[in-house]
């Protein structure tokens, strides 16, 4: 699981552990992410008994990050059966104000990184010959407009495109590809943007009456990762409390 120290990634890790998975926990390697991963490992150990974890540090922008993650899985557990592309970045920016550097940064983290990591994982899964599941976190912004997220939305649309094409290209190896597209989920990434009147307005748009929390995303991800979805590939699941179908 990439980028799993906080937020959605952390919730995914905890839910996977609850289901008995052995986990390679990826983080960028700075002091904060290292502390986050250490506390996550303690939490997993406390609540999930003997579930094994290993950690690996890598910048997803590094072309070798995928191989580092695969190597960590093989050295710790002997194989890799599931990969979850979760690491990402998101800045709220007016379209005309987005710089080339900001666009490049979002593309590198949100698309180039997951693409290269997926390539490395796929090669290992092909060697193992037992198939696998790759789940990527996309976003409802890939198909719905958002006034300050054109740069971000483009990267998430790319993730969806990669996933459906990989589902076709690699299905013969038994490797499944799916995406989960969250709506507005309360995380540290968007905390500053969800204040006061804007928060109230966002909640009114959601028929279920609340914003999402990371655990709302984690459970569908685990479904796609598991054998319960063994005949499900090339799909995108929107997790937004019905906000995207609310025309009222």
Of the residues 55, 136, 139, 233, only one is catalytic, namely: 139
Q: In this structure, are residues 54 and 23 in contact, taking their beta carbons and an 8 Å threshold?
A: yes
Distance CA(66)–CA(54), nearest Å, equals 15
Distance CA(33)–CA(30), nearest Å, equals 6
181 flagged as catalytic: no
| Residue 2 tokens, joined | 């990439």
3-class state of residue 57 by DSSP: strand
75 flagged as catalytic: no
Of the residues 156, 163, 181, 233, only one is catalytic, namely: 156
Q: In this structure, are residues 8 and 218 in contact, taking their beta carbons and an 8 Å threshold?
A: yes
Residue 176 pairs in a beta bridge with 133
> Looking at residue 185, what DSSP letter applies?
B
Of the residues 136, 152, 181, 233, only one is catalytic, namely: 152
179: left (phi over 0), alpha (psi -120 to 50) or beta: beta
Distance CA(216)–CA(180), nearest Å, equals 11
- Contacts of 234 by beta carbon, 8 Å cutoff, 6+ apart: 163, 164, 167, 168, 177, 178
Report which of 176, 156, 158 is spatially closest to residue 166, judged by C-alpha positions: 176
152 flagged as catalytic: yes
Report which of 167, 173, 172 is spatially closest to residue 224, judged by C-alpha positions: 167
Distance CA(138)–CA(121), nearest Å, equals 18
Q: Give the residue numbers annotated as catalytic, written as ranges.
A: 139, 152, 156
């Amino acid at each position: 699981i990439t980028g799993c120290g906080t937020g959605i990634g952390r919730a995914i890790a905890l839910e996977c552990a609850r289901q008995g998975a052995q986990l390679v926990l990826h983080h960028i390697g700075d002091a904060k992410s290292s502390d986050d991963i250490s506390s996550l490992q303690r939490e997993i150990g406390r609540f999930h008994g003997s579930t094994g974890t290993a950690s690996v540090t890598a910048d997803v922008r590094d072309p070798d990050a995928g191989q580092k993650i695969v190597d960590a899985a093989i050295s710790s557990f002997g194989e890799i059966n599931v990969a979850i592309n979760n690491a990402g970045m998101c800045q709220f920016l007016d379209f005309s104000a987005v710089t080339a550097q900001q666009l490049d940064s979002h593309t590198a983290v949100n698309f180039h990184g997951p693409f290269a990591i997926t390539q490395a994982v796929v090669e290992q899964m092909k060697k193992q010959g037992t198939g696998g599941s790759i789940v990527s976190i996309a976003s409802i912004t890939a198909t719905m407009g958002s006034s300050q997220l054109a740069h971000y939305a483009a990267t998430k649309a790319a993730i969806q495109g990669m996933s459906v094409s990989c589902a076709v290209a690699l299905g013969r190896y038994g490797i499944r590809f799916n995406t989960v597209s969250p709506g507005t989920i309360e995380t540290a990434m968007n905390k500053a943007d969800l204040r006061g009147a804007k928060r109230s307005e966002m909640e009114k748009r959601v028929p279920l009456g609340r914003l999402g929390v990371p655990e709302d995303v984690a459970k569908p991800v685990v479904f796609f990762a598991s054998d319960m979805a063994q005949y499900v590939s090339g799909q995108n699941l929107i997790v937004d409390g019905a906000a995207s179908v609310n025309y009222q």
